[in-house]
Amino acid sequence: MTQKKTLIGVLASQDDRRANSRLITVFNRLYELETKREPNRINDFPFHFLFTGGTYDRLFFGNEKLNLPALPDDVAYWLKNACGVTGKCQQKCRCF
C-alpha cells in the first residue's frame, strides 16, 4: 500500500543567497531531527517536496554565483528517496 504524503512546494529567490541558505538549513535540520528522533522513520517520511527548477538546482548542485554549497549527500539522498522530490532539473543530467 502506498503511503499518503503531504505535498510541500519549495521555492527560493534565484538571487538571494540568504533565502537559499536558510532553505538548506531547514532540510538539514529536518533530516537531523528525523534520524535522531526515530531512525526507522527515515525511510517513511510523510512529506513529498515539489521544487521549482531553479530552486532544485541551487539546493542539489549548489551555486557558485551565490557562493552556495549543495545539500550534503546524505540529506539529498533522504529527500529523493525517503520523502520524494518532484522538480525539473535545469542541469544537463538525468536526475529524474
Q: What is the DSSP letter of 71?
A: P
From first to last of its 96 residues, the chain has per-residue pLDDT tens of 567 888 888 888 888 999 999 999 999 998 888 887 766 655 667 788 888 778 989 999 999 999 999 999 999 988 888 788 877 655 545 454
Cell of 21: 541558505
Rounded CA separation 43/63 (Å) = 28
Comparing CA positions, the residue from 5, 14, 2 lying closest to residue 84 is 5
